Every structure is written in C-alpha cells, then in structure tokens.
Chains A and B, each alone.
Chain A
C-alpha cells in the first residue's frame, strides 16, 4: 500500500487481481459491476469511501482465505462487510480495496444444547438466530435495535450492544470462540468452547476490532436460557431530572433490570403518532423497565422498582398486562427511527456513554449544543448503562446543514468526555470517531492499541485507516485518501 503505482500499472493489476479472485472463488462470486462497486462505498453511516476494485461474495471460510491470499499477492487491502448496518463507517473502504461481503455465509451450523453454544457463519442475521434458538428455550442475548438486519459477524466486529445488555452484557460476553482468517491468509481459532482455553484471550481482543484484525468465518456464540418470566414497566415523568434520578435510584437499590430505556417527551409524542402504543404526548420522559427471572420473585421485585419510581414523582406507572402490551411497548421503543422519518428527512444518530450520575447534565448540554447549531434533537437511549443516543434531525438539502450537524456532533462527543464518559457505547469508532480517539486516549495509550492491531496485521491490510488516528502505528498512511467524503 505504500507504493503509488501509475494509473496504467494499477489498471493492469486490477484486471489480474479480479481474474485471480474469480479463479479462486468463481466468477459469479466476484462482482466488478459499477453499481455494485459504488454501492459498497457506503454503509449505514453518512460516510462515502473509495470505490472498491471488486466486491466478493464468498460462501465458505476457504474462499475467504483464498480472497485474502490473493489480496496479499497483489498488496491490496480488504474490507469486510456484513449487512452494512454500521453507523460509524466501519465497513466503508478507504483505499483501492477488495470488499468481502459475508451475506452468503449465512448458515447456522450447529445448535449444541449440551454445551449451550451455537456455531454460526458470520452472515447469519441476529433475528434469524433468535428465531432458530427460541424452540430450545435459548437465546443469544445481544439484541441491537437493528437486529432484523444486522449479522452476527457484524455484532462480533462491533462488540454490539442493545437494550438487553444492561444485565446480560455486550457481545463479547456471549462469544466463546471465533475462527478467523488472519490478514496473512492463515486460519486460527481464537477462544474455545471450554471456559479457560490456552493462551492470551485473543477472542476478547478480536471482538470489537471492527474488521481490522482479519475475517471471522465461524463463530461460537454462548446461549443463555430465555427468561421464564418477564415484567415490563412503563413510567411517565413530567420532569426529565426526576426520570434520570429514578434510573439512578433503581441501580443504587441493588436492582439490575434486564433493560432500562428512556425516551424523551418529544420523541415519545412522535412515536405515539407513528405506532399508537399508548405513550403520552405531553410528558417530559418515558422510562421502560424490564425485569426478568423466575416468576416467583418478580412481582416483589417489580413492586420494589415501582415504589422507587413513585418516589421520584412519576405521573403514572403501568405494568404490561400481557405479552401483547409488552411487545407493543418494545415496538414503540424500536420504532423511534421510523417515527423520526416523519419529522425530518434525515437524522444523525450519536452514541456516547456517560456515568449515570452525569445523565441529566449531559442531556441538558446536548440540547444546548444542538440548539446553538440551529438544529433539533430527540433522545432515545439505554439509560441504565448511561449510553446516550441523541438523534439530531435535519434536512440534508438545506445548504450548509451537514457542517452544522458535524460540528454539533463533535461538541456532543466533547461534552460526554468532559463528563467522564467514553466515545462510543456500541456503534464503534470506524471513521466517524477515529480522529476523536486522541480526546479520550493519550499518545502512549493509542500506541499500545496499535501494538495489538499490528500483531494481528503487520502489513495494515485488513480494513486500514480505521479506529486509530492517523500517525499512530507504523502501518498507517499519512492521510485519508482523496475521494473520501463525509
């Protein structure tokens, strides 16, 4: 990648590269169609990268290894992509790359009830896995809001979260082993289905590495029992501070709900207009609290939570009477983005984490920042773990609006860090927050992260120029290539 070949030499090498890829995995699995290539410049973020040389659709781990070995021979980078639902630009190619799409590797290989694991290929969709596990009374706990579309491989790459990660933990806690094709084409198994495999926890290091340390080709996910019983509470507040204080008091009382979500008043009204779930149109905040476990203890626990909420001047507290009502409330929570589409044509979804005790202050600061940029913001977020998701809405056709959106975003990130928080709770760093990494970490901290990356990928071949800011690590280039725009 350090070389800068002439245009003619590059075009000639492109042709040889594509021919070799086709020879390795079949002509039908390698697309050079201009539309397909342009499509794969983007993911669900606002970033657009460099048009890739080819888009590959492997069906098996051996084909992934063949693609990567071909890339090595041609000294080309590769970028892995699952369903393309990432919001930080992690799957956006930043160089003349080969894109490896895992959507055809979508088999659930085995559900092992005895060991409580499932072996899956990376392209399996999160919701498809959930449906396949349900008859066994088991689940893969992470449930990102995009679960109908996102893949398990993408969940591994981003260490994805979701509303039910408060008690259950994020993806890393639910991955036992990952078979990985390394950036040099070798295949390794990281982790194992026994609890304490030999060696360093490279499984843990790989999860969340956003495609920069190789390609996951088989994944052993840990299965947990579906809860025997659930109680879901919906609490309405006239005051945002009171709602946030209720969140803190629940945790401080020693209760760890399965989920603890907050929707601010304006968004609750918009969602109500959209799905009609019985949310108030005039509240300051709505809390959704889910408790799960054995049926016997749940009513007492729900009673404790209810009294904690009442003590914070909730206007109303309801407990879902049946599964239908519970499903409706969750539909409301997960429909926020659809509801927003009726308000403005575009939105920018942020993702930072702050200590719970800082929630109210940061929410206020976010509103001030957004208003100062002449924009509007709605909030729906994982209050229980302090994971904020401000939704800044705008109309991209308005001249100059993207600069204001981005400037507001940078200020929101800064406000979260000032409050003792972190850059990202579940979307990852990708390109979006790469240049903010120096705000959270020192140069020495970043260098240590680069040591990890470089041990896996000494040549910087796997999804280059992501996560670590420019200049950290020897394999990074000096700047983002021309042609990338955000």
Chain B
C-alpha cells in the first residue's frame, strides 16, 4: 500500500463520528482506564517506512510491533528510546508514554518523537512537529501527544529519533549502594536497585567501558549480569532523591521538597512502608521510577490535580475531541 493510502485509509476508518478505540498490543491496556463504553476497535497502519541512519531518524507507522522496528534498526546499528513488552506497538508505547529502564542514559520516550501524523476527532490527517531533530517551528504538539493515551488524536505514523548502538554494552551487578555508584560514574545507561542488589548498564567505546567496569568493580559491582532483573508489576513515579528512603527499615519522616508544595503540584503519599519488603521492588536510580507492589495500593497514588490544572486538561480535551469519541474511558490524569 502506498504511504499516503495507508494513512488515508486509517483516517477513513476513524471517520467523523462514533466512538473509536485504537488497539495496539494490549500490553498497557488498563493504563489511565480501563477503556469503557461501546466503541469501534481499530488498528493503526503498520510498517517501517524509511530508515535514515545518517539523519539518525526512522519513519514508522504506529501499528508496527516495537520488536519489528528494533530488529530493522539493529541492522543499521541503531536503536530508539522506546521500551515495551513483547507485542507492544510503536504507537501504543508513545500513546502511553512510559519510558524504559534505560531512561537515565537514553532519555525519556517523549524526547524520541520528532514528527507525528495523526488522525483528529474530525477524521482529518494532521502533521505535528517536523522531521529534523532540531525544530522549533510552531507549537510542540508531539510532546502533548506522548502519554495522551489517544485521547486527543490518533497516531498513524511517526518519525523517531534514533541513536547509534554503542560499541560495547555490559550489565554488572553487586551488593552496593546505588547512589554512590551513580555519583561515581559519568553517564551510566541504567542503575537499578532492589534494596539489596544494584545493577548497572555501562555503555560506550571498548576502552571507555573497560574503565567503567574497573570503577564499578572498585565500588563492589563485580558480577556479570545478563541484563536487568525482572521488573515486578506496579509502577510509581517519585523524585529521584526519595528512592534513598527505600533503604530504611521503617516509614521515614519525609521532608517536603521545595517544589512539592508549589501550586498545582501532586504531593506524594507515604510509601516508605515498602522498605519492609526488600526485594519486592526494583527502583530506577537517578530517574525515580519504582516497579513493584509497595504495600500501600489502597492509598491514592497522588493527590487529585489542582483545579486550574484539571480545567486546562478539560479545555484541551474539548478543543481536540469535543464529542469525546477518541478512546473513551481513558484519561491521562489517571494514568500513573
């Protein structure tokens, strides 16, 4: 199918009325949801359209499995900062907007999206952003789309920023303080910690990685590891410095960080009780994501958003999708 026909076909399927829901790999189906109400289920177009290694970009359709994209990019020695479980699609990972465990080095998903061709609630194809890495031409709709759960527009095709796969990549592990490790290394790709064991992903040129391995070993990180540890279900986002509290045996007294009390912020609930379950979590050190059941799921994750912030969300939804036909039931405000 020609490039234009694939996208126009998707726009025609979306049409101009009736609720629609785009199905990817259903790997994060309940995030910000679950989807509710009657809706036609659609799939986004598939296919890797164009890999441009010397531009460090790739044009790919949203329904393409992430694994397919990764395999094609690997052939030219590049990768993207998207992360998903088996079966996840490019569009799904972008729509949900959660980054992977390499975020410390690779950056968040939102920085990988350069251009998006989307279908609006009016069934029209719209281009947001542009094909170059550097671009300040107009409003930054691509960043608004990442994490919007398909509630503003439906992603049909994207241009993503790629990065070279480093010459050398190793994972190491050991029973050390992950915060000391983080402060001792320039730019590790990932530092993970379960309260006892620390894992680190070290990447770069051969000489560089050999040196990083020596530094890490001097701190006690001396075992080879095949990769990151399995990540338990459950996910929490906290200020990176608060991960230190997970090391303590009892609920900590939390100092309120400057910024946490600013208007409109979402103050975090106590979750230090999790420290009694060492090994039940894996934390992304230097980032602030905690994977796992922290034992306080009955408490709301966050306070409700401040009223002006909620109004802003409502106005955006009303502007982009006045009849509420795109992915009904899901809301970015419930996504975390």
- Partner-B contacts on A (CB < 8 A): 109-110, 112, 114-117, 119, 158-159, 161, 165, 169-170, 172-173, 177, 179, 182, 186-190, 192-202, 204-205, 207-209, 218, 220, 225, 227-228, 248, 251-252, 254-256, 293-301, 353-357, 382, 385-387, 420-429, 433, 437, 440-442, 444-449, 451-456, 458, 467-468
B131 near A169 with CB under 8 A, answer: no
Nearest chain B CB to A264 CB, angstrom units? 19
Apart from A441-B138, A447-B126, 16 more pairs, CB < 8 Å: A114-B244, A165-B134, A189-B262, A198-B336, A208-B136, A208-B139, A251-B56, A254-B78, A256-B164, A296-B211, A297-B205, A300-B207, A429-B137, A429-B138, A442-B126, A454-B319
Sampled A-B contacts (6; CB under 8 Å): A165-B134, A172-B111, A199-B335, A201-B144, A201-B146, A440-B137
A294 near B212 with CB under 8 A, answer: yes
Q: For the complex, is B160 an interface residue (Cβ under 8 Å from A)?
A: no
A205 near B140 with CB under 8 A, answer: yes
B207 near A297 with CB under 8 A, answer: yes
Nearest chain A CB to B185 CB, angstrom units? 8
Nearest chain A CB to B134 CB, angstrom units? 4
Q: For the complex, is B269 an interface residue (Cβ under 8 Å from A)?
A: no
A423 near B144 with CB under 8 A, answer: no
B312 near A456 with CB under 8 A, answer: yes
A198 near B144 with CB under 8 A, answer: no
In Å, the complex CA distance between A193 and B335 comes to 17
Secondary structure of the B contact surface, majority rule: loop
Residue of B nearest to A426 (CB): B136
Residue of B nearest to A179 (CB): B262
Determine which of A387, A441, A446 lies in contact with B134 in the assembled complex, contact meaning CB atoms within 8 Å.
Answer: A387
In Å, the complex CA distance between A470 and B315 comes to 22
Q: For the complex, is B254 an interface residue (Cβ under 8 Å from A)?
A: no
Q: For the complex, is B18 an interface residue (Cβ under 8 Å from A)?
A: no
Residue of A nearest to B302 (CB): A198
Interface residues of B in 301-336 (CB under 8 A from A): 302, 305-306, 308-309, 311-313, 315-316, 318-320, 332-333, 335-336
Nearest chain B CB to A111 CB, angstrom units? 11
Binds A, one of B20-28, B34-42, B84-92, B96-104: B96-104
Nearest chain A CB to B124 CB, angstrom units? 5
Q: For the complex, is B238 an interface residue (Cβ under 8 Å from A)?
A: yes
Nearest chain B CB to A467 CB, angstrom units? 6
B207 near A296 with CB under 8 A, answer: yes
Residue of B nearest to A456 (CB): B312
A116 near B240 with CB under 8 A, answer: yes
Q: Which residues of chain A come closer than 8 Å to B135, judged between CB atoms? A: 353, 422, 424-425
A385 near B133 with CB under 8 A, answer: yes
A437 near B137 with CB under 8 A, answer: yes
In Å, the complex CA distance between A423 and B257 comes to 40
Binary per-residue interface labels of chain B (61-93) against chain A in the complex, 1 for a CB within 8 Å, 0 otherwise? 000000000000000011000000000000000
A201 near B110 with CB under 8 A, answer: yes
Residue of A nearest to B244 (CB): A114
Q: Which residues of chain B come closer than 8 Å to A114, judged between CB atoms? A: 240-241, 244
Q: Which residues of chain B come closer than 8 Å to A428, judged between CB atoms? A: 136
In Å, the complex CA distance between A187 and B264 comes to 7
Enumerate the 6 nearest inter-chain pairs by beta-carbon distance, A residue then B residue, closest first.
Answer: A297-B208, A204-B143, A254-B164, A296-B211, A114-B241, A297-B205
A355 near B164 with CB under 8 A, answer: no
A293 near B308 with CB under 8 A, answer: no
In Å, the complex CA distance between A112 and B136 comes to 29
Known: A297-B206, A355-B132, A448-B153. A442 touches B312 (CB 8 A): no
Residue of A nearest to B57 (CB): A355
B288 near A194 with CB under 8 A, answer: yes
Q: For the complex, is B108 an interface residue (Cβ under 8 Å from A)?
A: yes
B147 near A192 with CB under 8 A, answer: no
Interface band, chain B: 35 or more
Most buried by A among B110, B238, B309, B320: B309
Determine which of B78, B258, B306, B319 lies in contact with A188 in the assembled complex, contact meaning CB atoms within 8 Å.
Answer: B306
Determine which of A159, A186, A194 lies in contact with B136 in the assembled complex, contact meaning CB atoms within 8 Å.
Answer: A159
A200 near B204 with CB under 8 A, answer: no
Q: Which residues of chain B come closer than 8 Å to A451, judged between CB atoms? A: 316, 319-320
Nearest chain A CB to B257 CB, angstrom units? 7
Q: Which residues of chain A come closer than 8 Å to B258, judged between CB atoms? A: 109-110, 112, 119
B124 near A444 with CB under 8 A, answer: yes
A186 near B308 with CB under 8 A, answer: yes
Known: A248-B54, A448-B141. A201 touches B147 (CB 8 A): yes
B132 near A421 with CB under 8 A, answer: yes
B139 near A467 with CB under 8 A, answer: yes
Nearest chain A CB to B68 CB, angstrom units? 22
Q: Which residues of chain B come closer than 8 Å to A256, judged between CB atoms? A: 56, 163-164
Q: Which residues of chain A come closer than 8 Å to B137, judged between CB atoms? A: 422-424, 429, 433, 437, 440-441
B147 near A200 with CB under 8 A, answer: yes
Known: A195-B289, A293-B204, A448-B153. A207 touches B140 (CB 8 A): yes
In Å, the complex CA distance between A78 and B9 comes to 44
B237 near A194 with CB under 8 A, answer: yes
Nearest chain B CB to A34 CB, angstrom units? 34
In Å, the complex CA distance between A353 and B52 comes to 16
A192 near B265 with CB under 8 A, answer: yes
A353 near B287 with CB under 8 A, answer: no
Q: Which residues of chain A come closer than 8 Å to B147, judged between CB atoms? A: 196, 200-201
A198 near B335 with CB under 8 A, answer: yes
Residue of B nearest to A255 (CB): B164
In Å, the complex CA distance between A438 and B217 comes to 57
A205 near B211 with CB under 8 A, answer: no
In Å, the complex CA distance between A172 and B305 comes to 23
In Å, the complex CA distance between A94 and B312 comes to 26
Q: Which residues of chain A come closer than 8 Å to B97, judged between CB atoms? A: 196, 201
Q: Which residues of chain A come closer than 8 Å to B308, judged between CB atoms? A: 182, 186-188
Q: For the complex, is B210 an interface residue (Cβ under 8 Å from A)?
A: yes
In Å, the complex CA distance between A252 and B56 comes to 8
